[in-house]
Structure 1
Amino acid sequence: MCYTIALNFEDGVTRFVDCKAGEKVLDAAFRNKINLPMDCSDGVCGTCKCRAESGSYDMGDDYIEDALTEDEAESGLVLTCQMIPSSDCVISVPVTAASCKTGQQVFAATVTRIEPHQDAAVVLELAVDGAAPAFLPGQYVNIGVPGSGDHRSYSFSSAPGEGDLGFLIKKIPGGLMSSWLARAKPGDRLDLTGPMGSFYLRGGEGPLLFLAGGTGLAPFLSMLEVLARAGSQRQIHLIYGVTRDQDLVLVDELAAYAGRLPNFTFATVVADAASDHPRKGWVTQHMPDEMLAAGGVDVYLCGPPPMVDAVRGYLDESGIRPASFHYEKFTPNAPLKAIA
């Protein structure tokens, strides 16, 4: 039996390693040519201390209090030289990937479908060469724009483990990627680098509130697919906010998830006051009070900086304290900083 361990480095790079039953994470990483921080490897120095974001594991009792206190262990800190996983795990590593002598993965893919949605967005689908890339639902990759020597960053809208990758890309007049997509065709080749980002779906059983702005819907489609395949019984509500009516895309996919996930609901919101949409304004005006008041809700937010700042301000001013709050800001060109 093997478990998959996602190592999230502080510079946003994520690497996946296989960990054999009974194997310590530090040893598994080293076997996969990733040199995690370490000194003694005996549970004495604390140099290998990281944070377990999710998963089950055994720390044993062969380490000293100075290396990892009881309070630290209870808060999720681990010593990778002692940690033996009993499930797939996600571990936050407090150093850069380069300092561990590893880096971003690069893989090639072929364009299989380009579907414009008026002047709002483009659905881009790619077939990967070789094995499907591993990533966490919600993460993103850098896609090289052919002939430019530059790249743009986009969240996966497809689920991990698939050879066919999906992306929802905002149309930017005169934009580098938008201009290329206007002339691209199936069969064109692209280079991708990643995965990256600390905005991804965590485990748990509590209710989920997803807040998507524009093409910030993409990572939530990946999350919903993972939840649907797992047969999740969690209460999930998604609010999809856009500026104009024509910016509402892939609503049919949300409706399909409502049929697959028994406790999933969603609402669309249009900011344009001239719209005939039944819900107008901002996502903060349509957040479910009963869901927030009940407590224990995990909030995920992905959208442009003004939307993210508005939601953060609303939660602070309203005194709402979610069980966890994860967000990612993005500009038309690339994601900014994701805070878990």
Structure 2
Amino acid sequence: MLSNNRVELTLIEKNYLTPRSIELTYRGEDPICYIPGQFFSIEFTYKGDTKARSYSVANGELPNPDNRLLSFVITLVPDGVASDYFAAAELGSTVAVHGPFGNLILPKASPKRFIFIATGAGVTPFRSMLPELRSRISESPGLEVIVIQGVRNRDELLYADEFSELTQLTAHAKFMACYSREEGEVLSDNEKSGYVSDLYMDLHANPDQDMVYLCGHPDMIDQAVSYFDQQGFKPGNLKREKYQFSLL
């Protein structure tokens, strides 16, 4: 059972989800415990130096024998140390992880409406929550779930099919994709041009019945927190996690 100890994992699968995003799946020798929404610090060696980066668990519905697998999504940044390392990582290579960490998790009791807002790979912790969200929708058909994913263009969407499947379970679930640089494309009803702020401001979020989760680019987080603070949200119903980028 993994807590905050250093544990070695072996890379067993590597897939490009988009031109700029890689999903890496690692296997441990012992069961790995975490709560959907949490993250791990990954320690790796790059050109003789030990580096560390934090990534949210992206595990979804994939088979996970004995809870020994962890999946992460890496966004490739030009000249980034972590990007170079993970892009070149071969199956069978190993890393060490510390964790789990973070409080971006679902509460024991559901609010009337969950609002999940992400940019880029910030959507991965929400993907890990999907099995639990499906279960809660089954138990409480009136539960509302809104997921907003902001990316530059359609090719950068992550797990859009899985979030869209959630909307087929209930009329109270909605998935919206927001493109900041998509031009000349015909957009469907669940696609919009612009930024995530253009969408969440139209939700008329109510701190008495809604719970908001934010994950992704620091600028988006800061802007959204300022907005929801003004609406009366507090730390108990406004959860956030910034994805910091480092080239070193």
Q: Cα offset for 1:135?
A: 1.3
Which residue is equivalent to 1:149? 50
1:165 aligns with 2:70: yes
- Which of 317, 321, 328 is residue 233 of structure 2 equivalent to? 321
User: Amino acid of the residue matched to residue 205 of structure 1?
Assistant: S
Which residue is equivalent to 2:155? 246
- Given that 1:213 and 1:302 are in contact with CA atoms closer than 8 Å, whether structure 2 keeps it comes out as yes
- Which of 237, 243, 246 is residue 330 of structure 1 equivalent to? 243
Deviations 1:220-243 (A, max 9, x none): 011122222454533111101112
Q: 2: CA distance between counterparts of 1:268 and 1:247?
A: 10
Which residue is equivalent to 1:272? 181
- Given that 1:244 and 1:270 are in contact with CA atoms closer than 8 Å, whether structure 2 keeps it comes out as yes
Residues 263 and 110 of structure 1: is their aligned pair in 2 closer, same or farther, counting only changes over 3 Å?
A: farther
- Which of 205, 214, 221 is residue 127 of structure 2 equivalent to? 221
Which residue is equivalent to 2:200? 287
Which residue is equivalent to 2:24? 124
Deviations 1:118-177 (A, max 9, x none): 43211111122122x111211110111234311111000116973221111111112122
TM-score of the two chains, using structure 1 as the length reference: 0.61
**Structure of higher CA gyration radius:** 1
- Given that 2:149 and 2:176 are in contact with CA atoms closer than 8 Å, whether structure 1 keeps it comes out as yes
Pick 1 or 2: higher relative contact order, CA cutoff 8 A, min separation 6: 2
**SS of alignment partner, residue 222 of structure 2:** helix
1:257 aligns with 2:158: no
Instruction: Between 144-153 and 290-299, report the one with greater CA deviation.
Output: 290-299
Deviations 1:74-115 (A, max 9, x none): xxxxxxxxxxxxxxxxxxxxxxxxxxxxxx222222112111
- Given that 2:74 and 2:86 are in contact with CA atoms closer than 8 Å, whether structure 1 keeps it comes out as no
TM-score of the two chains, using structure 2 as the length reference: 0.82
Residues 290 and 180 of structure 1: is their aligned pair in 2 closer, same or farther, counting only changes over 3 Å?
A: closer
Q: Cα offset for 1:198?
A: 2.4
Q: 2: CA distance between counterparts of 1:294 and 1:316?
A: 10
- Aligned-residue sequence identity (percent) comes to 24
Q: Cα offset for 1:185?
A: 2.2
1:311 aligns with 2:211: no
- Given that 1:116 and 1:122 are in contact with CA atoms closer than 8 Å, whether structure 2 keeps it comes out as yes
Q: 2: CA distance between counterparts of 1:118 and 1:108?
A: 27
User: Amino acid of the residue matched to residue 228 of structure 1?
Assistant: R
Q: Cα offset for 1:273?
A: 6.0
- Which of 91, 104, 126 is residue 199 of structure 1 equivalent to? 104
Instruction: Between 218-227 and 155-164, report the one with greater CA deviation.
Output: 155-164
Residues 190 and 273 of structure 1: is their aligned pair in 2 closer, same or farther, counting only changes over 3 Å?
A: closer
Q: Cα offset for 1:262?
A: 6.7
Number of matched pairs: 231
- Given that 1:301 and 1:327 are in contact with CA atoms closer than 8 Å, whether structure 2 keeps it comes out as yes
Q: Cα offset for 1:299?
A: 0.5
Q: 1: CA distance between counterparts of 2:169 and 2:135?
A: 9
- Given that 1:112 and 1:126 are in contact with CA atoms closer than 8 Å, whether structure 2 keeps it comes out as yes
User: Amino acid of the residue matched to residue 112 of structure 1?
Assistant: I
- Given that 1:214 and 1:241 are in contact with CA atoms closer than 8 Å, whether structure 2 keeps it comes out as yes
Which residue is equivalent to 1:69? none
User: Amino acid of the residue matched to residue 14 of structure 2?
Assistant: I
Which residue is equivalent to 2:10? 110
Residues 273 and 245 of structure 1: is their aligned pair in 2 closer, same or farther, counting only changes over 3 Å?
A: closer
Structure 1 residue ranges without an equivalent (≥5): 1-13, 16-103, 335-340
Structure 2 residue ranges without an equivalent (≥5): none
Q: 2: CA distance between counterparts of 1:286 and 1:126?
A: 35
Q: Cα offset for 1:295?
A: 3.9
